[in-house]
A and B are shown apart, each in its own frame.
Chain A
Amino acid sequence: MESCRIRITGLVQGVGFRPNVWRLARTHGIAGTVRNDSAGVLVEAWGDASRLVTFQQVLRADIPPLARIDGVQVEALDAPCPHGDFRIIASESGDIHTGILPDAAICPACRADIFEPHNRRYRYPFTNCTHCGPRLSIVRGIPYDRANTSMAGFTLCPDCQQEYIDPSDRRFHAQPNACAVCGPQLWLEDMTGQRVEPDESERDCIDSASRLLRAGHILAIMGLGGVHLTCDASNERAVAELRRRKRRYQKPLALMARDLAVIQRYCHVSEDEAALLQSKHAPIVLLEETPPNLPLSGEGQEEQSAALLPPLIRGGLGRGFLLGFMLPYTPLHALLLETWETPLVMTSANLTEEPQCISVEETRQRMQGIADYLLLHNRLIVNRVDDAVTRVLTGKPRILRRARGYAPEPLTLPTGFGNTSPLLAMGGELKNTFALVRDGQAILSQHLGDLEDARTWKEYEHTLHLYQQLFEHQPAAIIVDQHPGYRSTQLGQQWAREHALPLIEAQHHHAHVAACMAENNWPLEGGKVLGIVLDGLGYGDDGTIWGGEFLLADYTDYQRLGHFKPTPMPGGTQAILQPWRNTWAHLQNLGWKSVEEQFSSLEMIQHLQQQALATLAVMQERGINSPLTSSCGRLFDAVAAALGFSRNAISYEGQAAIELEAATPPCLLNIVPPYPFLLEQTLSGTWEIDPAPMWYELLKDLQTGYNRAAISAQFHQGLIHVISELAGKLCEEMPEIRAIALSGGVFQNALLFKGLLKTLEGMGLNVLTHSSVPTNDGGLSLGQAAIGAARLLAV
């Protein structure tokens, strides 16, 4: 008989790891013990040599659904074999259980429980087990046990208690374990607070809710990490009413469908997309809607053409672009959707741009005049965790909003970052996430949102404190964006002052590049990359606003090699909200007077002439609220507005550019010539991309009467062309460039992203792209963290 000690690190606590080891040990005839300790899980095993080898293999391969192994260390053990069966040793006080897992979608076993009439959890909407259910959304502190969650007030009934203490049960030590006898309850009420009791024909209030939805009502449904506003997505009147009440007129609405088959009636779903939809993360996946009148190619459906949802679902976007679908991820959602052949709208319960409600009282108050009925429960949502948003591009899942299901799963930092001291990176201003660094890992918060919103700000402060407690984190330095107006920057400065901590400033686009490097495991000493950051706006080193940047970067520093030609934003923020201002600013670069004369017949020119151009011209001349920006996002706005997309105003971020993309069939890109851009080297040696020639061609094509799709395609092609040309030049000139990193919010545009990636890879370049953190500002905190860590390690 031989023996060994196996130490396993990673996400191995609170996921049913010990009972799994216990089960494997019994199956493979191993004696010994398993326990949690401060580093993870510790196994002591005795058995035949061959059995021990097999045991070690299955330990790594056969792990619980929510577990992640980061490391396994095996050492010899010189001790006598203990008597009896393999045992789970209870955690002792002093064992550290730091950290907390993401919320996970309902597992197949729990799903079976709730649909099985003889099961004691039949139709119980809060069913969960160690393989699924709430985590981050219900936690108040550590250690992660029931007392520190919003389950604290629910005492386990004898049946649940038995499951909780039985290592062979999948609810062994499942902290939120509950059943209808002892757990949280669901109820339906109207807007006066009156309970709505089920009809005789209905099994429970979920059935009633379903009936009300069918009748066209709008319900606020309290879910896992927040409250949704829900209506029947196929009911045009209901969708219109929901949009009106929520004041969300344009932005597409998220959908939830019962199963994959329902989604496939509307969208083509690839294998990768299906896997993502059905994963434990269960995010919203942006799917291409099946184009009109095209028969579906799925088996057994040859004759059926794609089903149609009311156009209102898509907001301002045309048919055939993207729909955001998710699958039911809690028992409540699974039960609610059981009988639905069409999707339900599942949008956050709020007014546009505010954080969604999470408490019963708040929902009752804020949903007045918005919802008709409320489906509520008494398992408090402690932390708001929004639905994550993802998209599969070039076969890889890309997280666009990292929230429910993903946060706060740690990201392991690349080689070289192992010895970093604890750091706190405050993130950006919009789409904010923050990040903690400890033990060579970065822990990103869930997406929090726009810090200008007072409620989001309160959550930001709350969540910062919560994470520091959950991860027992005391930062040795604080990293902020350079923008003096970011609230995250101001709070970071204040904390650094109050706690006498070093403050590290990371340039916005350098942080974008570093985030891309870090998530691609680019080693600390891996050398330099060429970061191509196509972005909205970020504070630049020179006091102007950047956003179309070519940076030679490593983790500690960067050099600006090129950028788009700086163009004024007449009226500052107003230019973001009114895209036509950017069109005019770009045409002003071209010479507005001559453009006006030459293209006077264009509707677009006439439209601009009706604006207060004389005032804007003076503002620009005198530098009144007309900051210069090299932003690629603003260039997109300018082109989109020129073509008539959301010209006067946008109602959500990036709307004009998104509409432009949506109106451009991808196949067109391969057959149109690129618009020309001017690539020039300035006196300082920096490269500048000047879109002036592009504008001239665009105006001529508009005059010729080309359609918008063709013009947009040529613009996209032109960008791909000039960006890859500059990238090629720089890589040739500078052999120290080892790879290219693509980052920035503009890369959410799939046409540009895929086209550029393909071209760069075709040139034989090694290209790093975002996948597990957003390419938008949601990923900034990871980059800030990496920059901060690298700078401290370099000292």
Chain B
Amino acid sequence: MNLTGSITLAHGSGGRAMHQLVDDLIRQTFTNPLLAEGEDQARIPLTELTANGDRLAFTTDSYVVTPLEFPGGNIGTLAINGTVNDLAVGGAKPLYLSCGFIIEEGLALETFARILQAMKLAADEAGVQIVTGDTKVVQRGGADKLFINTAGVGVIPAGFSPSAGSAQAGDVIIVNGWLGDHGVAILNARGDLALDADIETDCAPLNRLTEAMFAVCPDIHCLRDATRGGLATVLNEFAERSGVDFVLKEEYLPIRTPVRGMCEILGLDPLYLANEGKLVAVVPADAAPAVLDAMKHIPEGRDACIIGEAVEGDGHVILQTAFGGERIVDMLPGEQLPRIC
């Protein structure tokens, strides 16, 4: 397909232009046997599923981001990895994805193709197939360039059941690496913030990592990817649901110097910054060394570390400073508004 020019309303009209876009560009890029059947629905053999576990995991997420492309990825990588990760942190092996596009007329075809390419790469890397989808084009102003929705199914092996309410006093909190990279990369990519920082998104599939973790510790108590709202928001949810306090050691928190620097200028707290390839695990203390070791053998877990522990309490996240101070890190009610009088 000729990739000069941009998407027009004709690409969504159901006629030849649309046919071209869907068949020649999207199907071509995502190519796989299930998609190639060309029916209105993907037909997935149940044996494929039951062979992998005893429960189906099913999730969906919509992706909107400005700008569409940023250092280390684009909206397409987010759309694949985000949904893969939502499956993976449930203990599931992600298998199939659906993909819906809402495109604003005027989006450069070349850009769209790049995004599709990135999705294909991400899907291959995660070992999932995009087996069904949908495309709509809306008038200028009807959307912001491109929105993507992906849904995914995966299978959860018997015995894995991490849950936000399962943390126990004595448990150890592990993250798989540097926090806040994605949030800062996006802010920086919005341009003219005139920030001198070279930070890429951390967007990555986490299913290989979670697989390795469950292999050594089927009894992971809580597991989540720390996306919007950052580490602080995930931990608050765990703490509240589990009825324990989490104590984080400030000096253990893995935050890159440039991320710290940018947060300092912008006045943002890195604990609330979005990540796209970071998970938080709460595991029994005796399993922690094995989990950590298993994580470090996977690229996405190379920088894994322990950041704190769960203690008896009533649902607070507490940050212990290097000097022994203890600050409550709570869920933000909305934007970060100063509280100091």
Contact = CB atoms under 8 A, between A and B. Distances in A.
Interface of A: 247, 351, 353-354, 366, 428-431, 451-455, 457, 483-487, 490, 508, 535-539, 545, 569-576, 612, 614-616, 618-619, 622, 624-625, 627, 633, 653, 745, 776-777
A625 B268 contact: yes
A653 B339 CA distance: 12
A649 to B, nearest CB: 11
A454 B328 contact: yes
B334 A484 contact: yes
A625 B336 contact: yes
Most buried by B among A430, A454, A457, A618: A454
Given A574-B264, A615-B266, A452 B327 contact: yes
- Which 9 A-B pairs have CB atoms at the shortest separation, nearest pair first? A571-B267, A574-B267, A614-B194, A454-B326, A484-B333, A536-B341, A573-B338, A454-B318, A572-B267
A618 B193 CA distance: 6
B320 to A, nearest CB: 9
Interface string B290-319: 000000000000000000000000001010
Most buried by A among B266, B340, B341: B341
A496 to B, nearest CB: 16
B195 interface: yes
A455 B326 contact: yes
Interface residues of B, number: 30
B326 A627 contact: no
Contacts of B335: 625
Contact of B267 (A455, A570, A618, A653): A570
A210 B145 CA distance: 75
A490 B268 CA distance: 22
Interface string B185-208: 001001011110000000000000
Given A452-B328, A619-B193, A428 B333 contact: no
B62 to A, nearest CB: 23
B336 A537 contact: no
A483 B339 contact: yes
A351 B338 contact: no
B267 A573 contact: yes
Interface of B: 187, 190, 192-195, 264-268, 316, 318, 323-328, 330, 332-341
A633 to B, nearest CB: 8
Contacts of A366: 324
Given A351-B325, A571-B266, A619-B193, A429 B330 contact: no
A573 B267 CA distance: 7
Given A430-B340, A615-B193, A625-B336, A453 B268 contact: no
Contacts of B193: 615, 618-619, 624
Contacts of B264: 574
A351 to B, nearest CB: 5
Contacts of A484: 333-334, 337
Nearest to B331: A490
Contacts of B268: 625
B332 to A, nearest CB: 7
A614 B193 CA distance: 7
Contacts of B323: 247, 351
B337 A615 contact: no
Contacts, number: 112
B241 to A, nearest CB: 15
26 contacts: A247-B323, A354-B326, A429-B341, A430-B339, A430-B340, A431-B341, A452-B328, A453-B325, A453-B326, A453-B327, A453-B328, A484-B337, A508-B341, A537-B339, A537-B340, A539-B337, A572-B338, A573-B339, A573-B340, A575-B338, A616-B265, A619-B193, A619-B266, A624-B193, A633-B341, A653-B340
A624 B338 contact: no
B327 A572 contact: no
A627 B336 CA distance: 10
A571 B333 contact: no
Nearest to A617: B194
A618 B341 contact: no
B265 A776 contact: no
Contacts of A430: 339-341
Nearest to A538: B341
Given A453-B327, A618-B192, A627 B267 contact: no
Contacts of A487: 328, 330
A415 to B, nearest CB: 30
Contact of A569 (B194, B333, B338): B338
Contacts of B339: 429-430, 452, 483, 485-486, 537, 573
Contacts of A545: 337-338
A431 B195 CA distance: 36
Given A487-B328, A490-B333, A618-B193, 14 more contacts: A351-B323, A351-B325, A429-B341, A453-B326, A454-B316, A535-B341, A536-B340, A572-B338, A573-B338, A573-B339, A574-B267, A612-B265, A615-B194, A633-B341
A536 to B, nearest CB: 4
B158 to A, nearest CB: 39
Nearest to B263: A574
Given A431-B341, A573-B340, A615-B193, A485 B332 contact: yes
Contacts of A624: 187, 193, 266
Most buried by B among A351, A429, A574: A574
Contact of B337 (A485, A574, A616, A777): A485
A539 B337 CA distance: 9
Contacts of B327: 452-454
Contacts of B195: 612, 615
A619 B193 CA distance: 7
Contacts of A431: 341
Contacts of B332: 485
B328 A457 contact: yes
A615 B190 CA distance: 12
A508 B340 CA distance: 12
B341 A428 contact: yes
A417 to B, nearest CB: 26
Contacts of B336: 572-573, 625
Contacts of A575: 267, 338
A351 B324 CA distance: 8
A232 to B, nearest CB: 25
A624 B191 CA distance: 13
Contacts of B187: 624
B340 A625 contact: no
Contacts of A451: 328
A690 B316 CA distance: 43
Contacts of B326: 354, 453-455
Given A428-B341, A485-B339, A353 B325 contact: yes
Contacts of A745: 341
A576 B194 contact: no
B338 A627 contact: yes
A400 B46 CA distance: 72
A571 B265 contact: yes
A354 B327 CA distance: 9
Contact of B325 (A354, A485, A625): A354
B249 to A, nearest CB: 13
A95 B226 CA distance: 57
Nearest to B245: A454
Contacts of B333: 484-485, 490
Contacts of A429: 339-341
A452 B194 CA distance: 32
B193 to A, nearest CB: 5
B274 to A, nearest CB: 14
A429 B339 CA distance: 7
A612 B194 contact: yes
Contacts of B337: 483-485, 539, 545, 572, 627
A350 to B, nearest CB: 9
Contacts of B341: 428-431, 508, 535-538, 633, 745, 776-777
A777 B193 CA distance: 36
B246 to A, nearest CB: 11
A570 B193 CA distance: 13
